[in-house]
Structure 1
Amino acid sequence: MNGPAILLPCDPLAPHRTDGHFADEASVARDLGGVTALVDHDALLAGDAAGAVRRVPRGLRAAWYRGWMVPSAAYAELARALEDRGCTLLTTPGSYTAAHELPGWYEVFEGATPPSCWLPGVGGAPSYADLAAAAGRLGGSGPAVVKDYVKSRKHEWGEACFIPELADTAALHRVVARFVELQGEDLAGGVVLRAFEPYAASGGARSEESRVWWVDGEPVLVTAHPDWPSPPAGRPVADPDLTGVRPLVHALGCRFVTTDLARRSDDGRWRVVEVGDGQVSDLPRGADPASLLAALITC
């Protein structure tokens, strides 16, 4: 097999084995004729990039990473450590940041995704004045959500995610401050405010999202979002309209990305809820990764 290798995180308690969360992907990749190797995610986050890649054979030439999220700076260190072993990550550090962090992809997808603005991290919650100015850039009123450059805290919806009214600066500051507090050292980049859009729900109160996996600008797999329960037996994953999304993915120019899509409840339009780097996007439980991995190891 001369195609790219797949690098996966090792089990922290058994470093010679694949982390159990990614073991099925490793098995499928090998069944397809691909080559896999292990990366120590804990060592990478601890600042030891050289140690993190010590189990990667020298001379693999090219590889994709498929594993847990890593900060953009750590990903750049990973890329450098692999280059020292003769292996090039096919997602460059610049492309990783562009797809992984909202400020990197927002301009391309503006108009297809909820209006957003952001405040770079300054070590704490933004001031009342800065938040009021940011709210003004979103129109000054209406509901919104808060997140950082990468993730929200939607499971603490009323406490640290949903803002009922942007014009209520005190409430806005309270929710944002709580979000920043809960994120702690995991806060990625800074604070993002996004206009809230209601999405259609199916079989429950939560909106249903589809995750589309793109390799070199082509959709190779559509799954449910990992946070959405698997569709009931006999009901397929929602099939989003990709007509307007495909050219945006091409314009972003990143080789391996995901787009999370949901249908707006008021007009039925498909909207881009999030964009992500495909290497660190999670597959929902039970999804078959074969078509995705086949595309990765043959490109």
Structure 2
Amino acid sequence: MATTTATTTVLYCSDPLHERRADAHFAAEARQLRAAGGTALLIDHDALLAGDAGRAVARVPEGAGALWYRGWMIPADRYAELDAALRGRGGELAVTPEAYRRAHELPGWYETFAGLTPVSGWLPTGQGVAPDREGLAALAAGLPPGAAVVKDYVKSRKHEWDEACYVPDLADPAALHRVVARFVELQGEFLTGGVVLRAFEDFVAAQEAAAEVRVWWRDGTPRMLTAHPDSPVAEVPAPDLEPVRAAVEALDCPFVTTDLALRADGVWRVVEVGDGQVSDLHREADRAAFVGFLTADQALLCTPSPSGTTPA
């Protein structure tokens, strides 16, 4: 069994209405961390997003040392401000700002996972600013002909699939611009980095199993398999992780998630990469197992159990 240490400290977002409590979404995980001997500290996520990193970390004690974060997504620039504010108090994030951006934003991880993930291209753009038709046509020319999906560097709007996500034919410039413009409009202030086009691939799901498998990697080792948080079921198949392992090792980030889906031709594909600190757990995931590998001194090889967790 992996050992845990009392020195593992994790920053959680505080509840906006009860600043001395962890946000309800992360409260069970914070309790599990304390039960495992770790320390849960609180930051003000709203203050951080508003640009006041000093106020955000006001409840973090001086000299806290290395700190993990587990909470709502943070833009990469704000994450760097969080790290700087913590360093001013004798602490520092276990995942550097450079590593966070590399895993969190598609342009940071795409080349490392080329061949394992749908062909993609991107255009930087400001919030509320949709690229013009000419720019989008040039971007689309770098993708295979056919359909594509639209997202920004971090998120899509898959729940508005026909309106702001799916482009049936990249050769239709009017439809491409319409979907991208609507995506940018709906993302609003939350648009991150720019517009991404990804070649559409046909994915299938095994009967009574999640369509997407989320793999949690600690120091290049797969430690836990869970269903994607949006999945209505918790059971997951066990994909071949060896090709993905090589890419995760090359990415060289300490805490990473990869979302995998089975293409119709039987090939497992990486549909998303993320920093594990801001990746959500499925509601039925084993939080004790999750906290166990987060606090572990040494990574263990992942042998998925039927529930998708790593056996002790």
TM-score range for the pair, normalised by the shorter chain length: over 0.9
SS in 1 for 2:242: coil
Matched, 1:220 2:223: yes
CA distance in 2, matches of 1:188, 1:80: 21
**What's the counterpart of residue 284 of structure 1?**
282
**What's the counterpart of residue 194 of structure 2?**
190
**What root-mean-square deviation, in Å, do the aligned CA atoms of Structure 1 and Structure 2 show?**
1.4
1:1-299 equivalent positions in 2, closer than 5 A? 1-123=5-127, 124-139=129-144, 141-203=145-207, 208-231=211-234, 236-265=235-264, 267-299=265-297
Contact 1:207-1:262 within 8 A present in 2 as well: no
Instruction: Kindly state the Cα deviation for residue 298 of structure 1 after the two structures are TM-superposed.
Output: 3.1
CA distance in 1, matches of 2:44, 2:126: 30
SS in 2 for 1:27: helix
Structure 1 unaligned regions, length at least 5: none
SS in 2 for 1:298: coil
SS in 1 for 2:204: coil
Contact 1:101-1:149 within 8 A present in 2 as well: yes
- Runs of 4+ in structure 1 displaced over 6 angstroms? none
How far does the alpha carbon of each residue in 1:137-176 deviate from its partner, in whole angstroms, 9 at most, with x for none? 103x200000000000000000000000000011000000
SS in 2 for 1:245: helix
CA distance in 1, matches of 2:118, 2:210: 15
CA distance in 2, matches of 1:228, 1:17: 28
Identify which range, 157-166 or 288-297, moves more after superposition.
288-297
**What's the counterpart of residue 303 of structure 2?**
none
Contact 1:11-1:17 within 8 A present in 2 as well: yes
Structure 2 unaligned regions, length at least 5: 298-312
Contact 2:104-2:274 within 8 A present in 1 as well: yes
CA distance in 2, matches of 1:294, 1:47: 33
Of all paired residues, the percent bearing the same amino acid is 61
SS in 2 for 1:197: coil
The number of residues matched between the two structures is: 292
For residue 55 of structure 1, what is the amino acid of its counterpart? R
How far does the alpha carbon of each residue in 1:162-218 deviate from its partner, in whole angstroms, 9 at most, with x for none? 0000000110000000000101111100000000001112459x9700000001011
CA distance in 1, matches of 2:291, 2:88: 25
CA distance in 2, matches of 1:31, 1:238: 30
Instruction: Kindly state the Cα deviation for residue 118 of structure 1 after the two structures are TM-superposed.
Output: 0.1
CA distance in 2, matches of 1:273, 1:223: 15
Contact 1:3-1:298 within 8 A present in 2 as well: no
CA distance in 2, matches of 1:43, 1:107: 34
Instruction: Kindly state the Cα deviation for residue 57 of structure 1 after the two structures are TM-superposed.
Output: 1.5
Contact 2:210-2:232 within 8 A present in 1 as well: no
CA distance in 2, matches of 1:283, 1:71: 20
